[in-house]
Structure 1
Amino acid sequence: MLRLFFAISLFAFTGAARAQDASIINPRALFPEGPVMIGDVLYYTEYAGHTVMRWDGKQNTQIWKQDGCGPSAVIPMGENFAVTCYDSGKLAVISKDGKDVASYDKDDAGAALVGPNDGTPDGKGGVYFTTSGPWEAGPIVGRVLHLSAGGKVSEAANDLHYANGITFGPDKRLYVNESEAGRVISFAVDDAGRLSDRRLFVRLYALGEPADAYPDGIKLGPDGNFYVGEYSAGNILVVTPDGKLAAKHTVPSAASPNLTFSADGKTMYVMAVDNKNGAPYEGKVYAVTLK
């Protein structure tokens, strides 16, 4: 019993120490999501505010707003950004100062974009992005799509159970969170950008998370590990390329759906939601010092 008490006390102390490593850079963000760091400037969306925000190290500034969009990610695309509009079913392209450049609501086969959610640059001036489908557990209609630098939107993969976070791994495969399935899968990418060889990477419950653990965003960290944000808890899981849990960062919020890193890799910016019960889904943006 004494050993158990010591273990519980140590766990509580460790959790408190982690919280002390986090500072708040936006104390009331309206469902912050989909961040990216460009130089020393952080860009992120407010899903419930329908905005793209910029933090320059001193203040948060709105650079773009489109009512009804429900933006969930800012994705570098050449000199511009692609912004996923989850609510309106569009992928908007904007300049870095917030001017509209283009907008897409269908792929090249005429299929609607249902629930555009997250994305990652393809390294050639375009982006891969996910569409989750409707906010329900039942339909398995998530997709991965590709927007080329020339403006062509094509399907790259389908039949995903709520496709969400997406990133390239150190092995150059494309990793995608299937949120409703509680897992991360990966694809091989050929020279033409086509996806194949769909494989399971990891199930969150195999890492010791609850059966209902909900992977949201995923990024490749500066240490070569994957960082997986959970919407089901205020956790960022650090997963090695061979699928082992290396660490867990916890922030004092109900959910931590997405994240990104400073240019020097010493700070992790965590998008967090405190109120998951209804709009405007108030939350915070944290800056977490990495050891």
Structure 2
Amino acid sequence: MRKWFAVSLLLLSINAQAALWSITYPRPIDDKDLRTEYPLALLTLALEKTGVKYSLLPSERIMLQGKALRQLRENREVNVVWSMTDSQREKDLLPIRIPLAKGLIGWRVFLINDMNEARFSKEMSKNDLLKLVPISGEEWPDTKILQANGFNVFTVPSYGNAAEVLETHKADFFPRSVMEVLNELNADTMPSDIMLEKNVAMYYPTALYFFVNKGNTTLARLIETGLKMAIEDGSFDALFMSTYEDALKQLDLSNRNTIVLDNTLLPEQTPLQDSSLWYKASLDNQDNP
């Protein structure tokens, strides 16, 4: 691996070290959105590892995920986006196949209306869960994954619409990544009758990647080099644990009934065999018929 770093850094130094890299990412709806903090911290860590000169700034206008991915594909406004992968995104864009959050994006727990708490239990099976209606975004890969597993999905234009759907009982649960659910639950905008379900988890293999435009291979190599350097020296895992360790303890995945779903959208190149890239949570207590 050290030889790989040496060769990569040599190649980068030819045309990257002396340049100022202007890197633009999608501006979130709220500049205090905690979901952007970890990817930005990891991107900053990777760039610092390479030693290049860079500026890292949000786009001039707010950009939701679907728009950001389209602009990246057209090489406009942004030149890096982090997003959950699927086969189509890897056709349209250039993925850097290092899971940013070690696969946590595929570990899901549920936000529910507190009136529906009794409908979920540690004894429920996948078939039981299929009788309930999940919420997912219209352009999210999760929607296709849920549908492919047999769920009747209630789709929403954006995350902000989901709480109202739960409140009005148009759907039964909102699967949220363990990366984000506690911050969302504690947000001032979350209605008081929305709660975290305590017994069940859902898992499907997937990854959150950095993506760049297909023509921007030098930037991709730059980011990949920095990420691999951070993995080797332990700073990647240190940042991951400092960000998510407390949440993982609170959510206690090993004591939940984990319902495992297939992900037919997962590209074949996903590095599932490299255990160093993935969070290891127990799947002993699982329902996978």
Please report the TM-score for the alignment, with normalisation by the length of structure 2: 0.23
Query: Which structure would you say has the larger RCO, counting Cα contacts within 8 Å and 6 or more residues apart?
Result: 2
Alignment TM-score, normalising by the size of structure 1 = 0.23
